[in-house]
Amino acid sequence: MTEKKLSDLNSTVTEKGIETDFRGKMTYGEYLHLDSLLSSQKRLSGHHDEMLFIIIHHVSELWMKLILHEMKAATVSIQEGELSAAFKMLARVSKIQKQIIEAWDVLSTLTPAEYMEFRDKLGQASGFQSYQYRMIEFALGYKTRHALAIYKKDPEVHQILDEALHAPSIYDVSIQALAKAGFDINPDILNRDVTETYEADKSVEAAWLEVYRDVDKYWDLYQLAEKLVDIEDWLQQWRFRHMKTVERIIGHKIGTGGSSGVSYLKKVLDHRFFPELWDLRTEI
């Protein structure tokens, strides 16, 4: 160690106010439960690169947990008419999505030959089974009731997903906000079965179109619309990077969970969560 590094270390240790006696006090590691967090990466193959694979997925699940935390709060805020509070939360979601997208760049350093060294150890486990990702889709209005069958093994998770299936999406409450603002929204949409995937409606498109044509009058609703577009845009970029990373590593092999792999991931790129917010761009 150089003299400068020793000097820096000594100045840090001797700086006044730095706590060194943690007897009876909570430490950083204890607050974050690092003992359990950092002991959760257990390789099944012993192969060096399996650690990368596990950590990328752990990090993504943690970010998804925060997305759901923010989305749930934003949905409640919109229901209560507190749109400004929702804007902050939705802006944070977009920033988180950027972090998840960039994680694919790290995973893409895994080569096909390296992945095949431990792929068989995954069995039928697949990211397709991520219940948090499914909950994000539900929160955005893409409801797939049949997907719940995947989670019957875990009654607690199945219950959480069933509750998410029956809850209004953030787009449902945004459309309700349009109605509260005086827009003439189709009653069938306002009272729709929220367990079904949302489909575009002319009355909703007309309302959003008026918002975009009179931004000053409907500034908060305009801001809400743009925040929703941001989230869908980032999600589709995530889906694209997912698809290309999978194609780069396994080509067109069948996924470990039985899906068609790249072919399935390409198909979901065509799905839109907030169709009217995209269609109106052609009409303006």
Residue numbers in the known binding site for substrate are 53-57, 115, 119, 256
Q: Is 75 exposed, middle or buried (0-12, 13-18, 19+ CB in 10 A)?
A: buried
**b/e per residue 11-29 (b: at least 16 CB within 10 A):** eeeeeeeeeeeeeeeeeee
Residue given tokens 């409907």 in the structure block:
218
Determine contact, residues 185/171, Cβ cutoff 8 Å.
no
- The binding site for heme consists of 242
3-class state of residue 42 by DSSP = coil
How many whole angstroms from its chain centre is CA 195? 20
Binding residue ranges:
53-57, 115, 119, 242, 256
Measured at the CA of 137, the angle between CA 112 and CA 61, to 5 degrees, comes to: 50
CA dist 100 and 114 (Å) reads 22
Q: Closest by alpha carbon to 228, among 161, 190, 275?
A: 275
Q: Quote the tokens at residue 41.
A: 């990466």
Q: Which residues contact 180 (CB under 8 A, 6 or more apart)?
A: 81
Tokens 């969560």 — which residue? 273
Surface-to-core class of residue 91, CB atoms within 10 Å of its CB (0-12 exposed, 13-18 middle, 19+ buried): middle
Say how far residue 277 (Cα) sits from the centre of its chain. 20
| CA–CA dist 106, 173 (Å, integer) | 36
